Amino acid sequence: MDVESLKQEAGIAACAYIKDGMNVGLGTGSTVKYTILELGRRIEKEGLQIVGVPTSLATEKLAISVGIPLVELDSLDHLDVVVDGTDEFDPDFNLIKGGGAALLREKIVAQASTQMVVVADARKQVERLGAFPLPIEVTCFSWQTTQRSIEAVLGCSTARRMNGEEPVLTDNGNFIVDARTGPTIQNPAETERELLAIAGVVQVGLFIGMCNVVILAKDDGVEVLSKEE
């Protein structure tokens, strides 16, 4: 199967973790898109009853278009599960996220969820995090000062993410600085702590100890990896 077909299979497989009556975090990305489409189908065809909390404006738009009822996270006391994508995951199920510039909202939703199910293709499975540039959301105010502090902490080059000639703005109105660490992040939790200590850093695209299950799209089909195993 081609990559897109594998993504679709993985995205649909994630729906097995979603039952009637659940409060569901809806992630962002090209694989989670298929989860959202399948949930919309199940709501229409099978009478599935859920409410969703989107992690980005793009996800909100897609969820509305397929008929998923949405609510504000603040109106709920918990989320049962969030289904989201990832840019990398390591053997301890630590993640790098933020390739879609939604890392702050994704992390807020993930922290509020009892379970995090990640959908990914085999290219995202790594032995050590960092080959994918680490996304860091920063305030626009004095962002270059923040950028220099990030480079001093990580010892690597960084770049403000651009869309053509314009800087990428997150849904929260902030910039993204991508850090080119290479696959060198041996202690993701410590790296996260050091970066969050920088005043201009809003959030870091390291998701530590949040993911429980990875639904992995591989050339020979879909494999379910569980942290409990």
Residues with catalytic annotation?
106
Q: Measured on CA atoms in the order 153, 159, 163, 165, is the torsion positive or negative? A: positive
Q: Are 150 and 196 in contact (CB under 8 A)?
A: no
Q: Which of 5, 1, 8, 31 is nearest to 124 (CA)?
A: 31
Q: Extract the tokens encoding 224.
A: 């379910």
Q: Are 204 and 188 in contact (CB under 8 A)?
A: no
Q: Are 156 and 180 in contact (CB under 8 A)?
A: yes
Strand 23-26's sheet: what is its strand order?
51-54, 23-26, 81-84, 116-121, 213-218, 221-226
